[in-house]
Amino acid sequence: MIEFHSENNFEFEESAFAKAWLEKVIAAEEKELGEINYIFCDDEYLHKINMDFLNHDTYTDIISFDYSQGAVLSGDIYVSTQRVEENAKTFKAAFKEEFFRVLVHGILHYCGYKDKTEDQAKEMRDKEDYYLNKAF
């Protein structure tokens, strides 16, 4: 089950579409859906999580806590809608595209993709683009 929650005033009007799309991504990656919660928040909320749990004094668009067991994907994915909006401007992308990129990014981490090295980041970006092209 995929659920969306908001800790700010963000209203996700395409949640049904996003759930169906993310379920297809999970199936395409030959994984199973457990319980995944997306929590939408602002920069300060996510910055506090970054400090408290990861000791990182930086702003970010996404932090995921992976509770997956084997092929069953579960976890909590925190998304700063403020940061997504800023990144969309920076990358000259539509908010919706950047937002969906972040949504699938969290799922791809649960599928085992990393983004710490340049090669890993390229593979992650290629996968994001692949699934975004299937969504739009």
Q: How far apart are CA 35 and CA 78, in angstroms?
A: 14
Residue 47 assigned to a binding site: no
Placement of tokens 């593979």 in the chain: 123
Q: Is 132 helix (H, G, I), strand (E, B) or coil?
A: helix
Sequence-separated (6 or more) residues with CB below 8 Å from residue 126:
none
- Annotation-wise, does 129 bind a ligand? no
56 appears as a binding residue in the annotation: no
Cβ 51 vs Cβ 57: under 8 Å? yes
Write out the binding residues for Zn(2+): 105, 109, 115
Write out the binding residues: 105, 109, 115
